[in-house]
Amino acid sequence: METKIKDQKNHNEAANKNIRGQLDNLIKTMSGHYSSDDLELVRLTFDFANDAHQGQLRASGDPYITHSIATALKLAEMNLDITTIIAGLLHDIPEDTSRTLKDLEKNFGPEVAKLVEGITKLGKIKYRGMERYAENLRKMFVAMSNDMRVILIKFADRLHNLKTLDALPVDKRLRIARETLEIYAPIADRLSMWKIKGELEDLSFKYVYPEDYAWIIKMLPQEYEAKEKALGKIKAVVAEQLEQHHIISSEISIQGRTKHLYSLYRKLLRPRINRDLSKVYDLIALRIIVPTVADCYAVLGIIHNLYRPLPGRIKDYIAQPKPNGYQSLHTSIFSDDGEIVEFQIRTDAMHEQAEYGIAAHWNYKENNGKLNAQGIKWLNELVEWQKQIKDNDQFLQTVKFDIFQNRIFVFTPHGDVIDLPEGATPLDFAYHVHSNLGNKCVGAKVNDQLVSLETQIKSGDIVEIITDKNRKNPNPDWLDLVKTSMAKSKIRNALNRNKK
């Protein structure tokens, strides 16, 4: 009996030591970015949460509070505001403890309580197939439009849950992983949060497609090792040249695509590549991060002076950013060994935007949790559309196409970039630019060639809309041609006005 008590005591001491170590890691991560008052508030919040979750264990056997700390840590790594981090520590309390939202409001204020309430509601959204929870999806998008921090906390919560999926029954693992791949990862993508998207996908991949995951894991190390060795030489040469030109780089790193296994898997499935890893040129890329935009272009010149660039593979997303705000210079070159190597060149600010998207420039003191950025224009539009779309099946089609479909980037004749879902037509393009352009449309050119209005446009296309100034209303048949909710909504509005 004494031995059992002693073993339990040792186990408890080890668990408490582990918890304190995780808390220390959270405080260390926050140091330098947050005030001493913020750090003290985190400690006090931890004490509250630890007391509330006392005695609770996760399916993995770990104390429940470890999940709360891991969620807060991820939010701190994204440099989110202190209110969001506090809400991350408290996010499971109303659902899993005897403490209530009123207790949270009393101790931490209404803003924290509101965020936790939003997370609690999202927690009730379970994936049972898209058709069975349209109403829950509606609630999710409304919650996001009210305060985007709710979905950011959900991402952090989900990332840690995915890391401990092995402790759950097989059917529950599959449900959570599939929900992540089909719902949360695409939302992270639309918010330009590629680091989070990549992590969500990779952690889910092995549960949803175990055989394909095993295949990639088996074949990747040899290719990766060979390419990494070749890039090591190129890295040394480029670093020396940057030093000679007095360009200071905060990072010249070899970025392996092994961090994004699911993205690589989907690329390998393309017919052109047909599972041939040698045709994936950006399996490993060299990323160079420099202080200024001028340095970016200087580095590009240095690289092209050293190595022959691949025709058609130089992309300037600094002068012409993607609609979601992504900026970087991309170029692919032939190395001395004949290897094709991709370079990405950007500033620290561009890198932060590329990694964390909408979370990279968050300022709640000004916005109170709302952003008017172009990056979430689609979300506000979706919330408006869903008020008009009463039928759940129709709403789900909207969501599947407008939110979860792959994106393409096409150009106006003046060089402006338009972001559309894959499968969009010239009419979708026209209505995206302006209602009048769509209503007066009589034809379209894609890359200077006349095309039908039902043609599917592709990334990189230059689309020109031919109009008739005397035309005032769209053709009702266009409702069957367009794919996006925006176009359908604008066509219906114009037709209804004409009836009146």
Residue of 96, 105, 282, 422 marked active site: 96
Bridge partners (DSSP) listed for residue 420: 408
Give the gyration radius of the chain's Cα atoms: 25
- For 466, the enclosing helix (H) or strand (E) is strand 463-467
Distance CA 65, CA 55 (A): 10
Q: Where are the beta strands (DSSP E) in 17-114?
A: none
Distance CA 222, CA 1 (A): 54
Side by side, the strands of the sheet bearing 441-446 are: 449-451, 441-446, 463-467
Nearest 5°: CA angle at 340, between 335 and 344?
Answer: 95
Residue 312, phi-psi category: left (phi > 0), alpha (psi -120 to 50), beta (remainder): left
Residue of 13, 24, 47, 95 marked active site: 95
Distance CA 318, CA 291 (A): 14
Which is nearest to 175 in space by CA: 126, 104, 110, 133?
A: 126
Bridge partners (DSSP) listed for residue 315: 330
Residue 117, phi-psi category: left (phi > 0), alpha (psi -120 to 50), beta (remainder): alpha
Contact status, residue 327 vs residue 194, Cβ threshold 8 Å: no
| Beta-carbon contacts of residue 314 (< 8 Å; ≥ 6 apart) | 300, 329, 330, 331, 332
Q: DSSP class of residue 413?
A: T
Q: DSSP class of residue 309?
A: E
**Does the annotation count 96 as an active-site position?**
yes
Would you please indicate which residues are annotated as catalytic (active-site) residues?
A: 95-96
